[in-house]
Structure 1
């Protein structure tokens, strides 16, 4: 069979979805080669650009390396290049550095901000259509606040500290909400009164957030009022200058930062391909997402125009639309290869969600559920996570969770309470104490009469002593350590009744967590430790593990693992009837030291980053700025 070449141009939401699903569906077909071409070596999570612009996450937090996304798919080549033209006659995609043959071509080149020719936007304004623009805006905001903080002239100072967002769509709403959340940190860093930093949203229409249900839009507007974000409706910007903007009522507004989010249009690249274009430059396609005069070319996402509802507006330019277009292209390419009829595009829109900052949002789901606040924001994160599941990338799903919840420097959905940037220095004493507990506990197990490395059974499991179960178990328990229920014999020989407590109290016998092993635990343990031979090996092996845990914790090596195992051992010892309530702190300490405590005076400071690099390289390869077929795999 002749090799089939599928070329996907654009590594955004739609292109990535398409390439991933084709790669999975055709992984057993050795006669198909998929090529993904993008001018960048990474996929940008475009819906989170505002988080970078407002310095809530690191600049690279929303970048996901394309080659790593496809490193396990040998039928995909990742190419870093820019497409210049499409030779439809010879079926070639022409790039700046070469050309690629295709049997099927999928265009997913996205959209870009549309300033509608407003004077001065390109020279003095900011847009938010790419990662570079988000980084540029962030650095500009920092610079403006720094300059405003030391400016003596009140009018000039106002222009520095006034921030204007034009447009109240998804991008504008989320951007101004995120910038407002950054305000207090900016003010503190520059010794400013936070109220001097002012945010204003300008909207040409008489209402704002017109993509939302009016009920949800009203909630959002009330939230903006609460946060002192000024909303100017029926206000159009007619010109942008260095330190002020012109408004449609003839007045001016002082600002050196105007962020234009008032509209989008198809990528300017679309005009160079020679296809028929419709509204806002979007390429016209039929209901099968194909170019009408060439059924081998599919156009999906923001750059495509399908009048699916007959209103003439086209499908919504949102992630769900790009995914739906990708699903249609995948289905029809497979159908054509198998000689089956094509299917129509069907937009799947489960609702709309918009964040108004890191802790508040509004959502309308499945035309039924109205959410706001915590649950709306949580739902937005879940939808973002779902996309990674849809493109089969658990690796990047993990990194999204880490960036959004644990590596966060500012506030987030949980108001920063679970950020790993808490000072781990203060868990250092806990780590040392927990490690020493294991080592001291094991001292009596490795030498002397109480050694666990002899052929004398120490475990108090009654079924291992068939002759005198009760007395033997009681005797064995005499050598059980402090960490695993030491001096259990004292409980049986002492006349003092055990007393519940979380610290040792003179004159009282500490109470075990469980006096006897629960029946279900006993059943499991009998299977794992059925006889004396296995029990002897088990008690020796367990002692070695305890010593290793102690050493790892003291030197700060693999502390996440050592802390987790410490907590697990406490649970096991408790259920086995070998642990006291007074030592339950070890469970809490085990969890506490998992939060990177090895980075403070420990080997993990260098070992963990080294291990992450090695494992990432072994499974996903080396990240590069430029990919081509000979360097992709």
Structure 2
């Protein structure tokens, strides 16, 4: 077989999907080379741009290096360059720095925001069509909020702290939801009242989120309104300025942050390839995803326009991109096998999911299951993780888990921060719960029954608390009993104790101290001089042990509970009541003191509340501006 070259231009969802599957299909065919060309060395997970823009995940969290994605695919050649044109006569894909021969080419260069020529959007507005756009928007918001916190003029302050999103499609709604999620931590960093930072969603249509089922869209709208987002329908933006926007009805709206998400179009580069274009600059294809100008040139993803199902073309979403790529790669495989390349495009949309921040979303699965809140977000995460598994990338599957669940800041994840915190306190949770259960189980026999420590029966083994020996017949009886006991001991000598930090079968564990040190003896005797005090101490100690156990299991006042666990264990050791095999309680109690109650524990809410309450009582409320002219 002669050498065959498949060139894929664009490492977006469609390009990566096609490259992965073509590489697998031809992995045993050394005569086939797949060349993937992109101006970046990484694939951008575009559906998470809003998470970067709103500082939920690190900036590089949505960049997936192409080398890592295709390292095991020896038939894939990666090229970091910008494709400039396709020479269809010579069958070359030309780039700024080279040219690559092809038998078949797949063009998936994506889309970009469409501002429809609205004045001022390019100069003063922000879009969210690339990783660079997300970074620029994040830095801008951090800057205007910082400036707004220090601004004395009420009008300027309002504009600086007002964030407006135009367009209620997937990008617009997810962006404003994520930004609203960021509000509280952003306000705290700048010593602001969170309510001063406002959010507005503007939509030209009479309803918002029109890509969703109406009931799902209404749920999402109610959630945004509940969160204080202002929703303005039938509102057209006709001009953008540095500190305000012009509306279609002739009014103005103050804002220094206008985010335009009201439309998309094919990238400007699409016009350079000399192929027929339709609305929004998209390249026209037939049902086989072939360009109508050349059957060896396939066009996939957002840049393609297939009008067989709608005069508006297919939706520019991930499912559409991958469906078009699947059609194109199947036809290429068939042609290379000498079969007709006549597989038709089939739209397959299994559902739509929209997140409104890190904890709430709505989802429509197969038009059967309608989810909202936790389960909708869980489904979105599962779909994202499935994407990495389908593309054979265990490495980025792991990275996704890390940045979405374990490395997030300010409780901004699906588990409301329980799975994420600086340090590894999450992994101390099982130890915390086990230690708490140990206290509770140990106290179970002390609470009821004949062995209860709440009866006025001496349980502490201290010699000065034992009753004095009686005289006469009782003394004779006691002597006889002592003699019998002595004979029994002589007949059955005590087993030799063995030092160990774990129980050994058939061995007698060693006490930490066989008897109390003299100084401890003196202190204890002074604190517990008689049986009445001993009965009180028995009951008090049991109650405290139960409280320690309950607090550790619930994750409440974990630092204090751990510290008391250590103190009690030390006291038990010094009192001659503790074995070496149980000394593990001390290091475990110290370990759980490192904030483990903040992961799946009540300390997550109680400690910050106490810190806030006592901090405000002691220090007052920090502000960015002090003085009588501070805007109210």
TM-based fold match above 0.5: yes
**What SS class does the counterpart of residue 402 from structure 1 fall into?**
helix
Residue in 2 that maps onto 1:337: 336
Tell me the alpha carbon deviations over residues 593-628 of structure 1, each in whole angstroms, 9 at most, x when there is no partner.
9999xxxxxxxxxxxxxxxxxxxxxxxxxxxxxxxx
Between the two structures, name the one with larger relative contact order (CA 8 Å, sep ≥ 6).
1
Q: 1:486 aligns with which of 504, 509, 534?
A: 504
Q: Is the 8 A contact 1:478 1:488 kept in 2?
A: no
Tell me the alpha carbon deviations over residues 419-456 of structure 1, each in whole angstroms, 9 at most, x when there is no partner.
142476997xx99xx9xxxxxxxxxxxxxxxxxxxxxx
Q: Is the 8 A contact 2:276 2:293 kept in 1?
A: no
Residue in 1 that maps onto 2:263: 263
Residue in 1 that maps onto 2:100: 100
Distance in 1 separating the partners of 2:196 and 2:179: 14
RMSD across aligned positions (CA): 2.9
Residue in 2 that maps onto 1:416: 417
**What SS class does the counterpart of residue 176 from structure 1 fall into?**
helix
Residue in 2 that maps onto 1:65: 65
Q: CA deviation at 1:305?
A: 1.1
Distance in 2 separating the partners of 1:73 and 1:229: 47
Residue in 2 that maps onto 1:468: none
Is 1:11 paired with 2:17?
Answer: no
Tell me the alpha carbon deviations over residues 547-602 of structure 1, each in whole angstroms, 9 at most, x when there is no partner.
xxxxxxxxxxxxxxxxxxxxxxxxxxxxxxxx999689699889979999xxxxxx
Q: CA deviation at 1:484?
A: 3.9
Q: Is the 8 A contact 1:270 1:283 kept in 2?
A: yes
User: Alignment length, in residue pairs?
Assistant: 464
Tell me the alpha carbon deviations over residues 207-248 of structure 1, each in whole angstroms, 9 at most, x when there is no partner.
000000000011001101110000000000000001100001
Is 1:328 paired with 2:327?
Answer: yes
Is 1:224 paired with 2:224?
Answer: yes
Tell me the alpha carbon deviations over residues 329-375 of structure 1, each in whole angstroms, 9 at most, x when there is no partner.
22111100111222111122110000000000000001100000000
Q: Is the 8 A contact 1:480 1:487 kept in 2?
A: no
Q: Is the 8 A contact 1:408 1:421 kept in 2?
A: no
Tell me the alpha carbon deviations over residues 275-294 of structure 1, each in whole angstroms, 9 at most, x when there is no partner.
11112111110101111231
Give the direction of change, closer, same or farther, for the CA distance of 1:226–1:582 in structure 2 (3 Å limit).
farther
Residue in 2 that maps onto 1:242: 242
Whose Rg is larger? 2
Distance in 2 separating the partners of 1:586 and 1:380: 43
Name stretches of at least 5 consecutive residues in structure 2 with no aligned partner: 436-494, 510-540, 542-578, 597-632
Distance in 2 separating the partners of 1:19 and 1:594: 47
Distance in 2 separating the partners of 1:484 and 1:203: 68
Give the direction of change, closer, same or farther, for the CA distance of 1:592–1:289 in structure 2 (3 Å limit).
farther
Q: CA deviation at 1:89?
A: 0.7
Distance in 2 separating the partners of 1:594 and 1:347: 52
Q: Is the 8 A contact 2:501 2:581 kept in 1?
A: no
Give the direction of change, closer, same or farther, for the CA distance of 1:581–1:47 in structure 2 (3 Å limit).
farther
Distance in 1 separating the partners of 2:49 and 2:7: 27
Residue in 2 that maps onto 1:137: 137
Distance in 2 separating the partners of 1:93 and 1:590: 64
Name stretches of at least 5 consecutive residues in structure 1 with no aligned partner: 435-476, 492-505, 507-578, 597-633
Residue in 1 that maps onto 2:403: 403
Q: CA deviation at 1:389?
A: 1.2
Q: CA deviation at 1:325?
A: 1.2
Superposed, 1:192-591 pairs within 5 Å as 192-309=192-309, 311-342=310-341, 343-410=343-410, 411-422=412-423, 482-486=500-504, 488-490=506-508
Runs of 4+ with deviation above 3 angstroms:
422-427, 477-484, 486-491, 579-596
Distance in 1 separating the partners of 2:213 and 2:427: 48
